[in-house]
Amino acid sequence: MLTVEKIGGTSMSKFKEVLDNVIVGKRTPDELYNRIFVVSAYNNVTNWLLEHKKTGEPGVYVQFLENSDYSIGLDSLCQRLLLINKGFEEIGLDQLEAREFISYRIRQAKTMLHSLSKVMASGYVNADDICLAAREILASIGEAHSAWNSVNILDNNGISARFVDLCGFNDSLPLTIDERIHRAFKGIDFSKDLCIATGYTKGTEGIMRAFDRGYTEVTFSKIAVEVKADEAIIHKEYHLSSADPNIVGVDKIVPVGRTNYVIADQLADIGMEAIHPKAAKPLELANIDIRIKNTFEPEHPGTLITRNYISQTPKIEIVSGTNKVLAIEIHDPMMVGEVGFDLRIMQIFERYGVSYILKSTNANSITMVVWDNYKSRELISELEANFYQVITERVALVCVMGTNIALPGFLYRAAKALFNKGINVESFGQSLRQVNMQFVIKRECYNDAVIALNDELCLEK
């Protein structure tokens, strides 16, 4: 059985546990192989390289954009990476070799960025393309660092490991992402070498241009399809659970166990990704199952995501959502019966690159829920200029999901749980497929709503 397995950044930062629980565990020497690991950068490293994913705190990439001294920024980053290396000395990382590798990779990056800045300063090229190239170069450093370290540790622990460097730093071949992955894995005997691949892949289309910070999972997905893996496994620092343990408490969650790709898509739509949606689709089409496991509970089978699974017992599998959304309601007395009225709205949405999460309509109003960010703010100005009345409200969206909930009673129980907590439903959405009930509520009620729905619908009575 050949598996492709992804290890996230938080888990990578606890590599001793990864070594003990995931890579070695209770396996015999023969059971160590026929696995490919795709690794993320260590926790926070990509934030330092680019910008902080949540707070926006600038990294080296922002220094490059602002034409400040990114070279000093890279030197500072190198010291941080060497400090990370020091933490793995006791489990076998050769400090001298590790220093030489990452120092050389950063020198290469400096040279490339210097050349890009000169070309951009000439004024003969599109600056956006140059900036995207710089972003690609910087992003790749984190995964190269963690992957190389992992191979060195494994080799020094008597495990035959192979560094599969997909970053393309040492060649100028105009390969697509798929072509580079195909060339990198061609001819490898997976029964003899444990492959550690970088989560970043260089390609002519630009993996960050297409997927931005979701690129590691895209690499993971493409490798699994390329090698025809029997299973794709994602190791996280937590289970895919009935609700967020940070909200409901670790003693009030239930691991999902089994679900399907449709539910994975619902989660991705609200930003609670089991797997990036553009990474999930190739796996789904190739009929490769995904298993999500907790790094720190290696004996637990985790949650298996398959194409056709439907729970035999009607049940709610996941309560999730977000408190970072905006409800936009467009009201117009002339809307009633007018064919194509919402097309005019959607054309403006498309122009600003905004996709809605929920849409609810009546005779003369259309309500859409979108992410509350800079794009939505620009969008609203144009909507106000073109329609009779536009009302916006910062809200939360809480969702109740399951592969088998198309039965009487679930909606009643969910609405009653919210009612019992004094939470009003501002808007609601559910398609005929009935896998996801979406409740729009006041933003300050979000945590209480998740707790109420999880207690009522997910926990065994």
Please report, for residues 94, 268, 321, 436, the alpha-carbon distance to residue 432 in angstroms, rounded to integers and kept in the order given. 58, 19, 20, 10
Q: Which pLDDT score is estimated for 460?
A: 58
Give alpha helix (H) positions in 289-362: 341-351
CA torsion 144→271→315→442, rounded to 10°? 150
> Kind of pairing, strands 365-371 and 358-361?
antiparallel
Give per-residue burial for 129-140: e unless 16+ CB within 10 Å, then b. Answer: ebeebbbbbbbb
Q: What angle do CA 359, 272, 205 make, to 5 degrees?
A: 90
Give the confidence band of 461 by pLDDT, cuts at 50, 70, 90. very low
What digits encode the pLDDT tens for the residues 64-116?
Answer: 988 888 999 999 999 999 999 999 999 999 999 999 999 999 999 999 999 99
What digits encode the pLDDT tens for the residues 175-221?
Answer: 999 999 999 999 999 999 999 999 999 999 999 887 888 899 999 99
d(CA 378, CA 370): 13
Structure-block tokens of residue 390: 């536009």
SS3 state of residue 425: coil
Side chain identity, residue 136: E
Q: What is the reported pTM?
A: 0.88
DSSP state of 245: H
Structure-block tokens of residue 326: 């905006």
d(CA 422, CA 35): 51
Q: What are phi and psi for residue 122, nearest 5 degrees?
A: -70, -25
CA torsion 409→411→414→419, rounded to 10°? -100
> Is the distance from CB of 5 to CB of 233 less than 8 angstroms?
yes
What digits encode the pLDDT tens for the residues 242-291?
Answer: 999 999 998 898 899 999 999 999 998 888 767 778 888 999 999 999 99
Q: Which pLDDT score is estimated for 52?
A: 86
Give the confidence band of 357 by pLDDT, cuts at 50, 70, 90. very high
d(CA 245, CA 254): 10
What digits encode the pLDDT tens for the residues 110-158?
Answer: 999 999 998 888 877 788 889 999 999 999 999 999 999 999 999 999 9
Give alpha helix (H) positions in 387-433: 410-420
SS3 state of residue 408: coil
Mean of pLDDT over the chain: 93
d(CA 38, CA 220): 6
SS3 state of residue 192: coil
The percent of residues above 70 in pLDDT, for the chain, comes to 99
Q: Residues in the chain, how many?
A: 461
d(CA 396, CA 453): 14
What digits encode the pLDDT tens for the residues 8-39?
Answer: 999 999 999 999 999 998 888 888 999 999 99
Structure-block tokens of residue 186: 């061609």
